[in-house]
Chains A and B, each alone.
Chain A
Amino acid sequence: MILLRKVAFWSWVATLGLTTAGCGRSDLPELGRVQGTVTLDGKPLPGVAVGFYPTSGGRQALAITDKDGKYELKFVEGVSGAKTGLNEVTVFWPDGSTPTAPIPDKYNKNSDLKFEVKPGKNTFDIKMESK
């Protein structure tokens, strides 16, 4: 009797384990969650796109800032974060948006902005200056 109960218990544990294992995606690189605030001359910039491109190659992670200028990067649909390692960062106005202020080239076309994304949680505030 006790043996049967043990068998039943461990079977459930195994099922739970297998089900959870089956839900994970195996084709993703190591990711770190990235969030922060985008400001231009100290003021939060809403509706602007932020792109993180890993210098080691990989998919570009993207986000759009909310009304407070906050962003959280999305890697693919349903998965947030960016590839770990050094990332080149660009800030640009996405199609269909109404730019409220021009973004200087040094933050998009000729961006020299780079962040080191680590596993776990990262906060990168992007403080831009129009000069």
Chain B
Amino acid sequence: MRYRWRSGFTLVELLVVIAIIGILIALLLPAVQAAREAARRSQCTNNLKQLALGVHNYADANGCFPSGFISNLPPPGNTELSLWTWGALVLPYVEQKALQDALQVGKLTLAQAVATPTGLAAAQTPLATFACPSDVGPPLNDFGAKYASTSSQFSTYEKRVTSDGTNRIEIAKSNYVGVASIGDSTTPLMGDFATYGPPVGVFFWNSAISFRDITDGTSNTAMLGERCYRFKNILIGAGNVVGCSPAATNYSSRNRAILSALGIPYWGINQTVIAWEHQNRGFHSLHPGGVQFALCDGSVRFISETIDFRGNSLAVGWSSANVGCDSTFERFLSRNDGQPLGNF
């Protein structure tokens, strides 16, 4: 048999080469996507770090952490239209003094501020420090305007801000909320300390927590956590940067608008089973496998969604939510449970 040498490739050789290239690309693509997510997560870590440092600087200047939200009157029976939340108070400490001046935080109420053109423009300025790059939500929080009207469950968690009690104004979205307490109830953080005792987090109704109040130690206590706009197919609604409007004029524990600045564990990290319409109480993120938290010492940690956690319904007559503090995640969120945290 005569062997004839021809230059070039046979079809099979070509196919094999293509197959090998295909395999290499298939190996590379997920790595690229994972690297992108890792970059977004590290940007998010940086945001949380900046905010935690802002809170620390606020504490240095004022002697305590900023209040979770500021309300003139003790509940119930409040008729305040819109409330400033901790985000508005830390603005000067994250290099946004000009924004705070435009909003006239402290001179005007939020309702009065968004009624002025400069105040409205300031409240609608998206701030990169308050936005997680992995989040898919819009820069202005449209949760209230888009979804609250579709369900009474959503409407109690309105993220809109109002200037006259009826209009809905979308303001800049925040993916970071202050840790308010543990358990499933919003009642303690609304200022009702009689029913289930006072909150055990660091941000709540007119709170003024200073470092000495964090008796578990600042490196064992969470300060800020993440909340995304949409988790899988569940609308969470993220939060707002500078404030919120109570959904009803009747300011009671039913009024959950304040959850646009505060968070509680509810039934667990990235939880999707129980009461989907209430998930915007808790902590969710699109980073695979967990949520990032800034701690009271200023560090940032990624908390796995598989962390030891047992949800609790608060019971009437408890001295505080710490009565139900029986898992690692709850000990991490509580500032004064008095139990060793351990490794997690």
Contacts and interface: CB of A to CB of B under 8 A. Distances in A.
Contacts of B328: 57
Interface string A1-30: 100110110011011001100100101110
A85 to B, nearest CB: 13
Given A7-B16, A15-B23, A96 B153 contact: yes
> Which secondary structure dominates chain B's binding surface?
loop
B12 A95 contact: no
B311 A29 contact: no
Interface stretch (B72-80, B170-178, B267-275): B267-275
Nearest to A9: B19
Contacts of B273: 49, 62-64, 74
Contacts of A78: 232
Interface string B250-290: 00000000000000000110111111011000000000010
Nearest to A62: B273
Q: Per DSSP, are chain A's interface residues mostly helix, strand or loop, or mixed?
A: mixed
Contact of B311 (A7, A22, A60): A60
A109 interface: yes
Given A15-B27, A49-B274, A59 B16 contact: no
Interface size class of B (residues with CB under 8 A): 35 or more
B12 A96 contact: no
B32 interface: no
B147 interface: no
B67 to A, nearest CB: 26
B327 A57 contact: yes
B309 A60 contact: yes
B307 interface: yes
Contacts of A75: 306
Interface string A68-93: 00000011111000000000000010
Contacts of A4: 12-13, 16
Contact of A77 (B267, B270, B277, B307): B270
Contacts of A64: 273-274
Interface string B22-41: 01001100100000000000
B101 interface: no
Contacts of B271: 62
Given A95-B184, A96-B278, A60 B310 contact: yes
Interface of A: 1, 4-5, 7-8, 11-12, 14-15, 18-19, 22, 25, 27-29, 49, 51, 53, 57-60, 62-64, 74-78, 92, 94-97, 109
27 contacts: A4-B16, A11-B23, A18-B27, A28-B306, A49-B273, A51-B310, A58-B308, A59-B268, A59-B309, A60-B268, A60-B310, A60-B311, A62-B268, A62-B273, A62-B274, A75-B306, A77-B232, A77-B272, A94-B274, A94-B275, A95-B184, A95-B274, A95-B275, A96-B275, A96-B277, A96-B278, A97-B275
5 closest Cβ pairs, A-B complex = A62-B273, A57-B308, A95-B275, A94-B274, A53-B310
